[in-house]
Amino acid sequence: MLFKIGSKGDEVKKIQELIGTTADGIFGKETARLVAQWQEEHHLSADGIVGSKTWEAMFPPSTDNAERINSTENGLHIENYPLSKDEYKAGHTEKEYLFLHHTAGWHNPCKVVDDWERDDRGTIATEFVIGGQSIKGNNDDYDGLVLKCFPQEAYAWHLGKNGSQYMHTHSIGIEVCNFGWIKDG
């Protein structure tokens, strides 16, 4: 994540609101000047660029557990389980496609997200992960648990090498924790 002169979007508006300038969503010279001033006041490198350190200082993570869960109108609860900002691509893209994936793994969606966090493959992830039941039949603690891994406007690579960056950036990926399709079911 890096915001500098020429950057645009909702994140820039959020920065502008914090530093007290017109929130037009366009990172210009005045925004850079005020960011540098803010950085200096907060004992950061005053370069006028909002990188990960400045972003974390401007918008520290909340400790309020109530903010971790979002509910839809139909009662679906979605728990925020965010990846680090270097595990997905920031930006605003209109979503046109929806892809379901299966983990070929166990039932705990937190472990799926934690694995993505630890791997060195780059920004490979899905926006949502849905927990399942243990194949051993002894644990349904995660069955139906929905985790949201990054902001709605962001994206990550989740379709493999398909030759279409457009499809990656304009799709929502949902990972379902299971071992694959049902056979003889």
> What 8-state DSSP symbol labels residue 37?
H
Quote the pLDDT of residue 185: 53
Cα–Cα distance measured from residue 36 to residue 82, given in angstroms and rounded to the nearest whole number: 28
Helix (H/G/I), strand (E/B), else coil: 110: helix
| pLDDT tens track, the chain, 185 positions | 678 999 998 889 999 999 999 999 999 999 999 999 999 999 988 999 998 788 888 887 666 555 566 777 777 888 888 888 888 888 778 889 999 988 766 889 988 888 888 888 888 888 999 998 888 878 888 888 899 998 888 888 888 888 888 888 889 999 998 876 666 65
Phi, psi of 71, rounded to the nearest 5 degrees = -125, 140
Quote the pLDDT of residue 118: 86
Which DSSP helix (H) or strand (E) runs through 52?
A: helix 52-58
Residue with the two structure tokens 């983990």:
103
Quote the pLDDT of residue 180: 62
pTM of structure: 0.61
Task: Please state the length of the chain.
Answer: 185
Domain ranges (residues) in the chain: 10-58, 65-176
Helix, strand counts (H, E) of the chain:
5, 6
Quote the pLDDT of residue 66: 55
Residue 11 CB: number of other CB atoms within 10 A? 22
CATH class of 65-176: alpha beta
